[in-house]
Amino acid sequence: MTITERRVEPEVLDSLDPQDPRAVRSRRDLRRVHRAMRSLPILKRAIAGLALEAPPRRILELGAGDGSLMLRVARSFGSRWTNVELTLLDQADVVDAETREEYRRLGWSITFQCTDVFAWASEPRGIPYDLCIANLFLHHFSDVSLAHLLEAVANRTRAFVACEPRRDRFSRWSSRCVGLIGGNSVTREDAVKSVDAGFNGRELSDCWPAADGAWAVKEDRAFPFTHCFVAVHERASAS
């Protein structure tokens, strides 16, 4: 059963100084949340479903946080993805030296773009990315802002994968149990807010720019708690 309307509220983590001990702890909590949500296998399956013509060379992650989830994605694709140029975008650079070194060991070069995502969206278009990823990020925005952001994404990438909280009663009940995996007060409060702002049905598809019929989009639930959206341009997919 779904919760009828999205309710977007500011999350506590976003208001804290990145070095606040509560923020540091909550970012560690998010690594456990990703495992509980099965974020890595869901992302891998979604990326495989894009049927890209060639392995991506230029990748952008929006709302990258500490970069740890994308690092797990990088490891999982191993030697199949080489010489990747990765851009991590977020308002604060909290990627530690160890994570950066792990990317380098994989042969990936990383750039951290420390900026507001809408400032990024207003920048002139450059060379398009082969793949853009957003994980637990889009739900922060109202439908109007989201449509503006997704238009910018569509103009700057050939393929897009987003994994967001699934807005339904099961996910909401589960969000109230985050303390059972060690979540602190920030994580516990934000988990409930995230689900209330999450997605179901075709809500993300409805925000995706429809003018260019060359995009194929798909949106559905990914068990147990994730709502997954993928979009691929015909120029990126294998024939």
For the chain, where are the alpha helices, taking DSSP H only?
12-15, 21-37, 39-49, 68-77, 97-105, 117-121, 143-154, 169-175, 185-196, 203-207
User: What are the C-alpha distances in Å from 66 to residues 42, 78, 90, 92, 199?
Assistant: 19, 20, 9, 9, 24
The pTM (predicted TM-score) of the whole model is 0.95
Contact 123, 149 (CB under 8 A): no
What are the pLDDT digits (tens) for 137-173? 999 999 999 999 999 999 999 999 999 999 999 999 9
For each of the domains in the chain, give its residue range(s) and CATH number, in order of start: 12-233 (3.40.50.150)
Secondary structure (3-state) at 232: strand
What are the pLDDT digits (tens) for 109-144? 999 999 999 999 999 998 999 999 999 999 999 999
Report CA 77 to chain centroid distance, whole Å: 18
